[in-house]
Amino acid sequence: MNRIVLLLAASLAVACQTVPAEDLSAVFDGRAGRWVDLTHSFGKDTIYWPTDTQGFRLEELAYGRTDGGWFYSAYAFASAEHGGTHLDAPIHFAEGKWTADEIPLSSLIGPAAVVDVADRAQPDYQLSVDDLAAWEAAWGRIPDGAILLLRTGWADRWSDRTAYLGTDATGPDAAAQLHFPGLDPEAAQWLVEERSVAAVGIDTPSIDYGQSSTFRSHVVLYSANIPGFENLARLEQLPATGAFLVALPMKIEGGSGGPLRIVAFVPGRP
């Protein structure tokens, strides 16, 4: 937890020189910056991988006045691990690597580096080593321990399932019809070999692009115990550097992933 405190203190020092760095309350009360929710809500229209035809289910168990006179509501929900804004634990594509409950906080909380290719991303675009090198030329080396966020602009399509996935098909044959951007496997390999990122997130349904049949970027990253965050929202509200990320998934024992609430703190005067 000391690392988290240091990160938040550093954000205060950068964001607002009039607030003492040790005054961490300024991170939470609006004096030192703003919080951005990068999570799509879960509901009946939440997008899941097309082979999952059940989606998110919410069952009403109680709603209304009780015999005692007070209001009470309760629900049961059911969901696959990998739908909506969610975590990919490394074990999802790498045997013996971290499960959802084993991922340390150091891989879920840290400084964000946002690579934005929305101006050129097309349905089968793969973010390349050249894209990462261009970002570093403009903003400096991707920091060790950073959470790398890839913005393709696909979150703008979230309300249109067909536009987001590239197909309206469902079932076992639908995956071959998917079209959306992702991370090129060579770029994933470069991140593992040349940089030291804590996690990688993207605003599409998958770290790999839609037409991938090998899911090589998943395999490369997760084999190095680098978790993934998929179906992110509002990345356009983050700067290229300077924001801090808190990504807290449901802590499912032995799980390969799970629903994720992910937020970013952007230092600066309100």
Q: What is the pLDDT of residue 1?
A: 43
Q: Which residues form the domain of 262?
A: 2-267
Low-confidence ranges of the chain (pLDDT < 70): 1-22, 270
Output b/e per residue, 208-243; b: 16+ Cβ within 10 A: bbbbbeebbbbbbbbbbbbbbbbbbbbbeebebbbb
- Which of 225, 215, 255, 250 has its CA nearest to residue 84? 250
Q: What is the pLDDT of residue 22?
A: 54
30-50 confidence digits (pLDDT tens): 889 999 999 999 999 999 999
Q: What is the pLDDT of residue 44?
A: 95
DSSP codes of every residue in 87-143: EE-GGGTSTTS--GGG--GGGTEEEEEEEE-TTT--TT-EE-HHHHHHHHHHH-SPP
Cα 270 to Cα 11, 16, 144, 243, 267: the distances in Å are 14, 10, 28, 14, 9
| Active-site pick, 82, 92, 179, 218 | 92
Active site residue 92: yes
Q: What is the pLDDT of residue 269?
A: 74
Decide: helix, strand or coil at residue 77: strand
What's the CATH code of the domain at 191? 3.50.30.50
126-174 confidence digits (pLDDT tens): 999 999 999 999 999 999 999 999 999 999 999 999 999 999 999 989 9
Q: What is the pLDDT of residue 270?
A: 63
Domain count, the chain: 1
H runs (alpha helix) in 16-93: 25-28
Q: What is the pLDDT of residue 30?
A: 83
